Structures are given as structure tokens and as C-alpha cells.
Structure 1
Amino acid sequence: MARGFQQHDPERDGTLEVEEVHPNFVEVFFVPPHHSLRSSGLDPAQAKAHRAKLLDINGQDRFLTIYPIGTFGDKPDFLKPKYAQVERITLADKHIVVPTTPKGVLNILENLPSAFTKDFAYGLGLAKPYRFIIDAVETLSDCTEIVISGKEETGPASNEKLFFISNKDFELARREMNSIDNLAQSAARAVKGTAAHNILAERLGVAKLDPKVGRHPYRKLFTTVAQGKTELSEEDQNAVIGALTNHAADIAEVQPEKLAKLRSDIELVTLEALIRRYEAMLGETLVEDRWQDFFNENPFILNMAFGYPVIKVRDQASVGGRKLSGDGEKITDFLVKNSLTNNTAIFEIKTPQTAILNKTPFREGVYTPSSDLSGSINQALDQKYQFQSHIAQIKHNSRISDLESYAVHCCLVIGKTPEGDDRKKSFELFRRNSKDVEIVTFDELHEKLKQLGAFLRAAEGGAAA
């Protein structure tokens, strides 16, 4: 969801300007923030001269046209069209109350369909999971404007640069892409669960399992890909299955080291793929929910923030309610516990773009923590207080007995390591004196992942030697 009107910081996000073209028709412009202009080599003093159109809002003809542009000063598409060919996306046949203020524009953006980016600071247009609709239009036509309409059939207009998509087909595409994402996640969970089971099963000498591939063709394909396999024809699959069935015992007895090497290769390749995904996400501007989903899928990364073994109890846990899964005013991103002592810990996940320090020094060489950092610390401490106050009731109502609150540990994953010696010093002085909340940056977790990968590669090389 887009940030509310009061949550936009003009210095960080830029501002909006609304101009009336004629009654019941306005144009909306994006005035970039000074830091973005500096990053792009433009003069911040000329900010308004560099403004770019974001929207046409026409109440009389009942349409809203979006101009997707890049809004990040360090990107090559800054203030330019975001897509290679498509320059505008129009929502037709809409009952619109035309806004006259930036706050009114934000209300319009809040009510855009769910497939759209709603925060102007990130550049409007289709959200990344639905970018494939844009790609398809650009592949199938030379149209520069997409019109989503309840009155037109899907296809290019006869003599114009318009590509119509009916509301029905747009919704169908959106749901199909959501379904594909869900199938991919389901396949990944199945492969991960099976991989974990099989590693332990081998140690215990019990039978291994195959991932549940499901019935849907996409689910079967994703499961195969998640296992690192190349899609085989049915004939090839039967041949491989037959060979392994007939010779599995011989292979395990004669060449066990090759089976161990195969398992090691799979673990290393999986970790390297995870590191690449993490790096790609660091390069994007993602909302907190996306990072929470990522850590929920890969909870072992959070383990690296501690010096002792932890296991996840629940994500989005209600620490101020009657039970973990119930309603409560205080929700923590992750509730974990020490797998040996059952002592609990609370995780709060922010974003890599969250500011850690204030921009200007408090004194020469001394920087104070940002309001985002101090507010997040207080949020975690309040969650800790609520959890400790309700622990007995939560354990009873949730029927969880192996959960303790001897000394609830709080961990905050936020921002990136500041640049510059003075800023690094100020950050370290602050967080080393934050005894009740451990502060870890996103790039530090990234570095730990890379070090783990380097260790596994070195171990593999030593074994090979």
C-alpha cells in the first residue's frame, strides 16, 4: 500500500504539483527531491524546471492516464519513461472526483487497482510482478499507450498507438500471474521441506522422500526447476528412473563419495542462487512486506544474526493479544526461540533504504540516530514489554508450552551500513550501547551469506584435493 499523505517526506520523496488544464481536468507533476537531482548530475536549485508529468485526471471524460517514469536519481531512466516503448497507461470509464491538491491525488493513487504501484516516489505504473503485461504489449505491437477499458475488446486500435485491454482480460492476467507466483512458492516449499527431510533421513538411515509435485503443470515445472533439474522428455525420465531403480544399491555401496559430492553441490548452488536473489533485492526499493516474505522463506538468514541456534515460532505474531495467531494491537514480524533453552526473541524487519542516521551532524563528526531507527527500537521494546506481560495467557491459549521469556532478545534488521568514517563511528557507538535491541544491517546479513558461500566452496575444494 502507498504511504499516507503525512508519511511522505518531501526531502526524501519529492513533491507533487497539481495544475488545472480546464474545469474537471488536471495534470499532476512530480518535482524530484534534491538528493535525486544531485545523484543524476542535475542542479537541485532548478528542481521545478526538471519536474515530470505523472498523471492526467479527467473527470468529464472519465479517464486517468498514468505516465510511468523513473524517480531514482542514480538510475539511467531518471525522469524518463520507465518502459522501452509504452509511455502511458490509461484507466478508462472511471468515475473520478478530480483532485485539486496533492493530498487529493494521493487518495486517487490509494484507490488504483491492486496491480499498480501506488506510491509516486517509486514511479507509477504496473507493479513489478505484473510487468509482463507491459512486455507482452511491447512484443505484440508498436503501441505506446495501454488503455484498460470496460467497453473495448482486447487488441490494438486501428489507426492509433493505443492497445486496448478489456477489464476482464486484465483481471484474468493479474490473477493468472498471482496464481503462478503461488504455485512457484508452493513448489519451493515442497523442495525445501523434502531437502531438509532427506539430509536428516540419510543420517538416520531411513528412507528419503521425493518432493510433492502437485497436479498443476506449472507446479510440476517449478518443482523440477527448484530441484536444479533440466526438464526431461517422458522417454528420458523413464530411462533415468529405470536406471536408478535397478542400480541404486550398487551406486550407494560402490561410490558413496559421489552421492555426498552431489548433495554438497546442490547445497552450494542453492546458496549461491539465494545470494544472487538477495543482491537483486538489495538493488531494488521494496516495501517491508517483501522483505518479511523473503526472510519467512529463508529463516536461516535470521539465525546468522545471533550467536546461538534459533528456530522460528511464528511470523506476524500477535504479542499483545490472547494468543500468537489472534488479534492484538502489537504484531512482531517474527517470533523465534532458542532451540536449546526455549528463550524467545523478537525480530523487526524494516528495509535497506530506511535511514539509520540523520543527514546533518549533531556536532562535528557526530551523527545522531534517525527517527526511523529510534522509533523502530522503541517499537521492538514495546513488543517485548507486551509479550512479557501476556506470555502466560499466550502460552495457555496457543497451547504452546515450550516457550519462555526469561530475557526476551530483540533484533532489528534495518538500513545499510553508513558511508564515511564519522558516520560509521557514530553508528557503531550507538548500536554497541543499545543493550536491549541488537541492530543488524541488510548489507551485513548479505556479507555473512557471502562468507558462508566462500566457506562451503573452500571446504569443497579441500575435500576434492
Structure 2
Amino acid sequence: MATFGPQFGDDDKGRLEVEPHGPGRVDVFFTPSEARLRAAGRFGDPTARVLLLRFDAKKESTTLFPVNTMPTSGSFLGPKHDPIISIELVEANGLASIVDDFNDSEHFVLPTTVDEVEMYLNECMPSGFTKDPNFGLGLDRTLTFIIQALAQIDDIEHLRLTDAKTLEVSRSEDGKTYEMGFQLFDELRRGAGRFDDKARMSSRKKKKQLAYSNLLHRLDKDTFPLKLFEREPDEIAETIGRTIVDAKLSENDRAAVVGLAKVAVRSSLNTQRGAIIKLHDEIELASIDELIAHVEAKLAVKTSEPQWQKLFEANPFILDMAFNVPVLMLQGQAHVGGKKLTGAGEKITDFLFANQFTDNLAIIEIKTPGMPLLSSKEYRSGVYGPSPDLVSAVTQVLDQINHLQSDIFRLKALNPEHRMESFGIRGVLVAGVIPEPARKRSFELYRSALAGISIITFDELLAKLRSLRALLASDLSA
């Protein structure tokens, strides 16, 4: 049979030595077995005797100095839980004392022999600790996560467990000792035990299913039909935990979370309605945030008309905000002067909308944020005329409205799947950004005087998105 690492016989036991140091204090030293010292190349080394344990009755404390006893390790006989050097156990009346009635002198009941030390380790050491000196004492290997957490704190060298605390923690004045209560330690220990038990149970179930699916189901699918993996109640909740760090989720994790939410939403409405509504609001808020970021990024660089059209096609509700009534987008790049909406035609508008209640049509033409809205030169003092580009764009929209009005009956006949009316076709032009303060008045006067056509700027659309985002955020926090 294969073996790994150095193998030792029954004589692989180290030696304990007890040394009293005045009233109320006893030190216990440990020397590894000769077999381990030889394996480590330190046989006969006088420094191979290390302090392992200290009883201090005056401080009502027992201090462990956990030691690495693996001879193949580079830190042999060094701190087992580096950088933690010691673990102090402080309990009121943990070490008994007796007062002599004759002369009022105090005597302490401490382990003074090797047998008494071994009895203390076996019977008095708290759960969660290694009790065999040959393994260097210290925390049980299932609790090394505690040491790993403390190792992230600069300058921490000692751990103190005390019955003077419950769930709170603190740091000593010199910054070298981390203090916690026995109650918190026990909760961590029991929690770790539950995790380990559930992990082992889950592993057994997965192995059982793996064997069933591959050994039995493959042999006879009728006798051994494929079974779904059954989960224990609260298993998913405990796996996820109370806090989810999205940055650590893989794409498979995200897909699983979304898929689980999708299948569970209907069955969870009765018991989790409030949480589901909040989830819906969070999704909407995240979508708005992403959209705002996209619009801001496109405004910061020179973006072509087709690129803006593609963004609005993917997010048509941005253009909804150009209207004061609910609308439905019928077609992007719609042919309004010819045959079908999606076929060849003489006149093409960027977007064709219809009022959801009256079916009245509206067209939207998209330009770019960089399109000038006003002439560069003053016409009169403080008065600026519309730019040639803006006048041409307005004329283009008017021309599209005219063709749509003229061809409405043919379009309705060729597109029966759409409900369309031409009671008063509206035109919307998305172009430019709000001019500088000295020119705002001229721009507002011009666009307010237009009949049947509205001009909205790209920065106004962005402002509407931000207002919608603020509204959603306020509802979410309420």
C-alpha cells in the first residue's frame, strides 16, 4: 500500500516537562520524539525544546503556544498558526485557588505533573482545540479559517478567548492581541461543523446521483429513469449566504441565479411578493443606469446617426419620453412614401410610432448631438436664426409627414397587422444640444413656433432618463 511522508512507530511520542515559576504559574515544555528530530535533521539539538503551554492562576488564564510538529516542514517547531504565536484562554475561576485559614496565604491548584497536564488537556480543554501535544496543540484544523482571517490584520500576534465577552470583539491597546468571547468562538465552531456536515452530505448525494446516472440509467433507461437532484430545504439560502459579492460571480453563476429567479418567481409571489417587486425595481434601475452610461458615452464622442438609431432601436422607450402620451413603436427605418412599412419606398423616416389609445401616427427623425441648431452669426442684437441644417431637418420631417398623409390608405391596406390613423400626424426631431445661455431664447422661440413638429435635444433626452432614474430610486428606497 502506498504511503506518503515520514512514517513513525509507536515510539513517536514527544516528551512533556513541567516547570513551576513561582506561585500561581506553571510552564510546560515539549520536546519531539527522536524519530521526528532525526527526520528533521535536528537530533541532539538543545533548541528543540519549546514552550507549549502556560498556566497562570493570577491572570486566570491558560496560554497555548501552538507548535508545528511536522519534521518535513520548513517551519518545524515554529509557530503552528503563524503569525499567531499564542492563544490565551481566560476564564473566571478557570484555575482554582485555596486560601489557608491559618495564615490567609493563597495556594493555587495547578497541574504540576505530566499526568495532570495530560488530564487537563483531555478533560478541560475547550472544544475546537487539538489536545495531543504531539500535534502541537492549537486550533482544530477545521477552524484554520479563523487564523486566516486574523492574519489579514497587521501586527496581530496573539488571540485571546475570554468569558468577559459574548459576541463582541476588540483589539488590545498595543494592537498585538485580538480578543473575542468564548460564545462567538463556539458559534464559529458550530457553524463550521454544520458547513462541513452539509458539504459531506451534499458530496455523498452527488456521488450517488453520478453513479445512478452513469451506471444504472445508461444500462436500462426504463427501469432506472433519470432522477432530478433533490436539494435539502434552505440549502440554496445557506450556500448563497446573506451577502452576495457580484464581482466574484462567474457567468455560469449569473446564469444560474437568473434561471432560478425565473422559475421561482410565480411560485414565490404569495410569500415573497414584496421582495419580488423590489427585485423588479432593481432590474429597472440597473437597466436605466446602464442606458444612461451608454448615452453619456456616446455624447462624449462623435457618434454617427446610424449608431444613435441602433441605440434607440434597442431601447425604444427613450423615444417614448419625447411624447406626452403612451406610444408604440411600429417600425424603425419605416418607408412612409411607398409600399409596405418594411419594404422599398420613396421616403424613409427613422422611426414610426402610434398612439396606443388613438392609433394616431407620429414620426421621429434622428440627427446627431453635434448638429448646429442656430446660425453662427447674429441676425439682430441677441437674435439668432435657425441653422441651415436645422431648417433642412425640419423640412425633411414635414415632407415625410406629407407623404405619410397622402399614402395612409395604401399603407393601411398593405399593413393590416398595424393599426394606423392620420388624425393629425406628429413629427419629432431629435437633434443637437441646448445652445449656450445667450442663444437659448432664440432656439426656444423658434421651436415653440413650429406647428406639428417638436424638437428635442439629446441632452434633454438624457435629462429625462436621469429624472426617471431618480424617480425609480426614490420608490425603491421608500
Q: TM-score range by the shorter chain?
A: 0.3 to 0.5
Q: Normalising to structure 1: TM-score of the pair?
A: 0.47
TM-score by length of 2: 0.46
Which entry has the higher C-alpha Rg, 1 or 2?
2
Higher helix share: 1
